[in-house]
Amino acid sequence: MIQRKAAGAASASLNTGQWVATGVGSINNSAIAQSSDGTTWSKTATKGGITTSGWGVAYGRDGFGNGLWIVCGEGSGIAYSPDGNTWTGASNSGGITSGFGVAYGKDGTGTGRWVAVGNGPIIAHSPDGNTWTAAATVSGVTGKGGITEGRGVAYGKDNLGGNLWVAVGKGGLIAKSTDGNTWTPAATKGGITVQGQYVAYGKDDLGNGRWVVVGGGSLIAHSSDGNTWTEAAIVSGVAGKGGITTFGYSVAYGKDGTGAGRWVAVGGGSYIAHSPDGNTWTKSANVGGIGSYGRGVAYGQDGTGADRWVVIGAVGVIAHSPDGNTWTEAATVDGVAGKGSITNGYGVAWRPPFGTGQWVAFGQQTSGSESILATSTNGTTWTAVTGVNLGGITSAVVSAAYGAGKLVVLGGGSIIATSTTNGTSLTAVPLANRGGITNGEGVAYGNGRWVVVGYGSVIAYSTSGTSWDAATSVGGITEGKGVAYGNGLWVVVGRGSVIAYSTNGTSWDAVPADKLGGITAGFGVAYANGLWVVVGAGSKIATSTNGTSWNEVPEANRGGVANCFGVAYGNGLWVVVSYSNSIIVTSTNGTSWTEVPEAKRGGILTGRGVAFIS
């Protein structure tokens, strides 16, 4: 099972992304396969009741913010998996018995929503991937937005930047929705006839948002708003659209190997075509063993983080490409039919490595005008957050960490608060449930357990984040300031023995004084990719590869930071926040740091903590 990393501090290693493919195995037997690189595939442990065919597949979130895979097909209609390997049939499918397409996006309020399309109610939606509800029926409108059987669905933006769902299928061919529940027919169809098969959202060659639909008739059409569609360009001397002549089965947007945007479409005829803008299409250089037709296509990464396209279809079943143009057949494993037991492929999707997401930085108010919370997608440019319900946290947020779909925040007032919405709505932990912590200073999650440090009992632990117990020993720590988990080890920093470690989070041992790396009082600690980083009194930063012996980072390499209070790692970047001077500094290796300019700090004037939400 692939475990979610605890954001902000606790991660055992950097994960690669994951591919999941669907299709048919032996006769009348569905198949789901998984891969870490798109090249070598293995059969999943279970299929969650998907029987004769697996069709659509997508990755998103459950109702608690945890990562979730959804596959739709025949049999149970819809199945879900937290790891892409072990699948469970949805408790209900909203009436869909044969699902053909699925996607994850947002409802009209900005809350996460799954949408699946198929037969029966045609379109259904879910907040968690498990419990599904049929989409609304609009009086006077056939089916759902004119669609009588759903085949594909995607989430993106309209031409004004508003959230938009687009579904395709039989009947009205193309429909749109702002919330995934109420659907209206598209104004035009761009020459698509018989059936809209698949839809995706990406960009044109100028960087503007673009929708692309594939299916019958004109084969490929595009739109800037999901409502008015135009047939893709006909190129003189090229059959169909980039050699796709009989039917378009799938389309996706990604990169061409050089960083430029690229669309790839698959279908009957030449099987694979690519385009820089979704309008003008070129036949691919080869098809990597795909025969008869290509059925599904997706863009992601191989096991090293390099660009990778994957196409699934017939004959060779799965092919991969670094650029969407030159294709290689996926590896065949001895004794395994097809590719990971798939002999005829229909759908494929990719999820990024855990640890890509959002940074949340916290600070302290001194005059009542500064922000105490800011967010960032890259760790270098920050945006202030306002109007947040802090669950009783007042004046300062000093630490936060994410794990098991929950954010735990420490600060003034309620001391400990939790959130299942990435910090936008917090709930206070009652005094009796805080494990003796009277003032929380640091928090982390790892190996199914939360640990909080501070004053009072100094160290407390919890498996839920909402009910806490005091540690049995604290390793000489008198005031806990920071905590992290990594590679099977917990590390706490603070005053007293300065740094202590534990393998279980309940009993702790002190690091000897001569191995503290110059740290005389520790305020923050984090682990990632084989490296521990501790920040402490004055301008001290120290690193360790084992958590028990530390080395000081020279002053010239600290980016001018002073009074360091928090450190975290995410998406390839270390971030340290401080109470004064540089406030925020970043590093790619933990040993050489660069200051973030004041104009890009999102209003944070006194940094106290930082976390990364995946």
Q: How many whole angstroms separate alpha carbon 31 and alpha carbon 340?
A: 8
Map residue 408 onto helix, strand or coil.
Answer: strand
pLDDT of residue 277: 97
N residues, the chain: 614
Q: Which two tokens stand for residue 454?
A: 């501070």
The pLDDT value given to residue 442: 81
Q: Which of residues 392 and 266 earns the better pLDDT score?
A: 266
**Overall CATH class of domain 358-613:** mainly beta
Alpha-carbon distance of 349 to 24, in angstroms, equals: 16
Residues 557-580 have a mean pLDDT of 81
pLDDT in tens, 54-94: 899 999 988 766 789 999 998 889 999 988 999 999 999 99
Confidence at residue 5, expressed as pLDDT on a 0 to 100 scale = 26
Q: What whole-number distance in Å separates Cα of residue 203 and Cα of residue 209?
A: 4
- What mean pLDDT is reported for the chain? 85
Q: Which residues contact 447 (CB under 8 A, 6 or more apart)?
A: 485, 488
- Find out whether 356 and 614 touch, Cβ atoms under 8 Å: yes
Per-residue pLDDT tens over the stretch 379-390: 666 656 554 556
d(CA 37, CA 308): 8
Q: What is the pLDDT of residues 187-197, one digit of tens each?
A: 999 999 999 99
Which residues, 6+ apart, have CB-to-CB distance to 424 below 8 Å?
388, 389
According to DSSP H, which parts of 339-427 are helical?
none
Question: Residue 13 pLDDT > 60, yes or no?
Answer: no
Of the pLDDT bands very low, low, confident and very high (cuts 50, 70, 90), residue 206 is: very high
Q: How confident is the model at residue 222 (pLDDT cuts 50, 70, 90)?
A: very high
- For residue 288, the model assigns a pLDDT of 94
Q: Which pLDDT value is given to residue 379?
A: 61
The token pair at 308 is 């990778």
Is the distance from CB of 560 to CB of 595 less than 8 angstroms?
yes
- The values of phi and psi at residue 230, to 5°, are -125, 135
Assign residue 136 a region: left if phi > 0, alpha if psi is -120 to 50, beta otherwise?
beta
- The better pLDDT of the pair 102, 13 is held by 102
Q: How far apart are CA 275 and CA 448, in angstroms?
A: 45
Rounded to an integer, the average pLDDT of 309-338 is 88
Query: What's the CA gap between 444 and 227, in Å, rounded?
Result: 46
Domain limits of the chain? 358-613
State mean pLDDT over 144-165. 95
Cα 76 to the chain's mean position, in Å? Answer: 26
Model confidence at 200: pLDDT above 90: yes
In this model, does residue 255 exceed pLDDT 60? Answer: yes
DSSP assignment letter at 338: T
User: How do beta strands 163-171 and 147-157 pair?
Assistant: antiparallel
Write out the two tokens for 374: 């800011």
Percent of the chain at pLDDT above 90? 55
pLDDT at 6: 27
* Type of residue at 534: V
Question: What CA–CA distance (Å, rounded) separates 220 from 196?
Answer: 9
